[in-house]
């Protein structure tokens, strides 16, 4: 293969790779984002109850922790309130270290999300996620990014909540 072809193919390969990367970004998601309220940001620290590694979107189900970070929030029947968090596709999430294994059930993590307009407990991830060390929740009112030994998944800083 000639050098010119190599360089052109490198170009195309870079484009193909970047295409995959940008495909995973919200602005180029495979579905409309009209269901999320982009004006609002909520930040949670919670416990993973289930992770579904979908090709188009990873879905993490989690039970938010209370402000004291000592217990999960429960409804009037005493059941944990479960939120859904929509991420990028499984391949892109894996490149950020978010896999079925690394975010197994019981993992304590923090993430920001744009909530659903409908008011249902769910949202679309915004910014990086932080994973606390095993069985080590943050101090009251804080998130995993404050815990020594936590790991960051994604880039940037944990967004500031809007309310």
Partner 1 sequence: MDRKHRRLAATWISAVALAACSPGNEPAREAASGVDTAAGTAVQRPRSVGRGWPVPEWEGRLPRGWRLEPGGRGPSLPRGVVPDGVEPLERDIFTSDDFYVDRDLWMDPRYYRCLSAQALEAEASLQTEVSDPALAPWGYCAAGYPREHIVSPYPFKTAQEHYEALLAEAASYGGPTIPTRATLPEWDGRYTRNVLIRHVARTTGGPEPPPEFDEPPQWIMGPYTQIPTTLSLLTPEYQQRFVQLLYHEGNSRAPQWSGMFCRPEGFMRQWMEQGGPPMDITLTQDRMTILAKGTDNIIRVFHFNRQFKLDGSVPYLGEDVRSWYGESIGFWDGEALITWTSNIQGWMTHGSFENSDQLQTIEIFTPRRNANGELIGLDHETVFYDAEALVEPIRQVRFLSKSHELSEAPPYTYVRCNQTIFLVNGRGIPVAPGTVIEYKVEDLYGRPWAAVWEEWFEQDMQRPERKRLFGF
Please enumerate in sequence order all residues whose Cβ is within 8 A of that of 141, keeping only pairs 6 or more positions apart, or say none: 67, 69
> Cα angle at 50 between 29 and 80, to 5 degrees?
115
Farthest-apart Cα atoms in the chain, separation:
70
Q: What distance in Å separates the CA atoms of residue 6 and residue 20, rounded to the nearest whole number?
A: 21
Q: Identify which range of 53-61, 66-74, 130-138, 139-147 contacts partner 1 by CB under 8 A.
A: 53-61
**What does the per-residue mask of binding to partner 1 show for 9-48, with x meaning CB under 8 A?**
x-xxxxxx-xx--xx--xxx-xxxxxxxxxx---------
161 binds partner 1 (CB under 8 A): no
Nearer to partner 1, 39 or 70 (CB): 39
Min dist. Cβ of residue 66 to partner 1 (A): 20
Query: Which of 47, 48, 51, 57 forms a contact with partner 1 (CB under 8 A)?
Result: 57
Q: What distance in Å separates the CA atoms of residue 84 and residue 61, rounded to the nearest whole number?
A: 5
CA quadruple 71, 150, 162, 94: dihedral sign? negative
Query: Which of 68, 118, 141, 149 forms a contact with partner 1 (CB under 8 A)?
Result: 118
Q: What distance in Å separates the CA atoms of residue 123 and residue 99, rounded to the nearest whole number?
A: 19
Cβ proximity of 11 and 111 under 8 Å = no
Nearer to partner 1, 49 or 146 (CB): 49
Q: Identify which range of 1-9, 94-102, 132-140, 143-151 contacts partner 1 by CB under 8 A.
A: 1-9
What is the contact surface with partner 1 in residues (CB under 8 A)? 1-2, 4-5, 8-9, 11-16, 18-19, 22-23, 26-28, 30-39, 50, 52, 54-57, 59, 61, 82, 84, 86, 114, 116-118, 120, 122
């Amino acid at each position: 293969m000639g050098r010119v072809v190599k360089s052109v193919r490198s170009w195309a390969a870079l484009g193909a790779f970047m295409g995959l990367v940008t495909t995973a970004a919200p602005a180029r998601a495979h579905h409309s984002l009209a269901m999320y309220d982009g004006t609002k940001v909520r930040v949670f620290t919670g416990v993973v109850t289930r992770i579904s590694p979908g090709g188009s979107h990873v879905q993490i189900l989690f039970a938010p922790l209370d402000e004291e970070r000592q217990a999960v929030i429960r409804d009037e029947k005493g059941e944990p309130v479960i939120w859904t968090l929509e991420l990028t596709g499984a391949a892109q999430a894996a490149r950020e270290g978010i896999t079925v294994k690394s975010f197994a059930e019981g993992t304590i993590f923090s993430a920001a999300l744009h909530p659903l307009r409908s008011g249902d407990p769910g949202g679309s991830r915004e910014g990086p996620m932080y994973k606390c060390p095993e069985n080590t929740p943050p101090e009251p009112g804080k998130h995993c990014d404050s815990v020594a030994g936590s790991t960051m998944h994604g880039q940037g800083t944990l967004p500031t909540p809007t309310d």
